[in-house]
């Protein structure tokens, strides 16, 4: 369970960004989360409230956008979205598809500040 330290990093990052932009508070963090990031959404949401306590982010929301795993299928010569992270095969032609294009994101995309 490393989600608490990740939540604390996010809070720190958002506090610095808000200060840089002259904002008094952060109302929400928008996060993009890929299934291959190694981070569990529920654990992160739980940790987030704890990490925000006593900071300018207390009471703020964590808005998580879950992105799918996208692989490159060499046979179809195109990107395909996986239906399961247990099966790295092209969902259309069944060819093994080890090349991950997207799905590792753990990225703060935006902040709601005021």
Partner 1 sequence: MSTPRLVEVRENVLKQNDLLARALRQRFREAGVYVASLVSSPGAGKTAFLEKTLAALRSQCRVAALVGDLATDNDAARLRRTEAPVRQITTGTVCHLEAAMVERALEGWNLDELDCLFIENVGNLVCPSSYDLGEDLRLVLMSVTEGEDKPLKYPTIFNTADVAVITKIDLAAAVEFDLAAAHRSVQSVRPGMQVFEVSAKTGQGMDEWLKFLQSRIVDCGLRI
- The site for partner 1 (CB under 8 A) is made up of 1-2, 5-6, 9-10, 13, 17, 21-24, 27, 30-31, 35-39, 85-89, 96-98, 100, 106-114
Identify which of residues 54 and 86 has a Cβ nearer to partner 1 in the complex: 86
CB of 96 to partner 1, least distance (A): 3
Residue 66 contacts residue 96 (beta carbons within 8 Å)? no
- Where on the phi/psi map is residue 38: left (φ > 0), alpha (ψ -120 to 50), or beta? left
Nearest to 62 by CA among 10, 5, 2, 9: 10
Identify which of residues 54 and 98 has a Cβ nearer to partner 1 in the complex: 98
């Amino acid at each position: 369970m490393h989600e608490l330290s990740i939540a604390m990093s996010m809070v720190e990052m958002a506090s610095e960004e808000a200060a840089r932009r002259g904002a008094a508070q952060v109302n929400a963090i928008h996060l993009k989360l890929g299934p291959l990031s190694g981070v569990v959404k529920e654990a992160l949401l739980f940790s987030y409230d704890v990490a925000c306590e006593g900071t300018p982010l207390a009471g703020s929301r964590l808005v998580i956008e879950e992105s799918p795993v996208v692989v490159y299928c060499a046979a179809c010569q195109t990107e395909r979205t996986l239906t399961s992270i247990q099966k790295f095969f092209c969902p259309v032609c069944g060819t093994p598809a080890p090349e991950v294009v997207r799905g590792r994101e753990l990225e703060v995309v935006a902040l709601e500040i005021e």
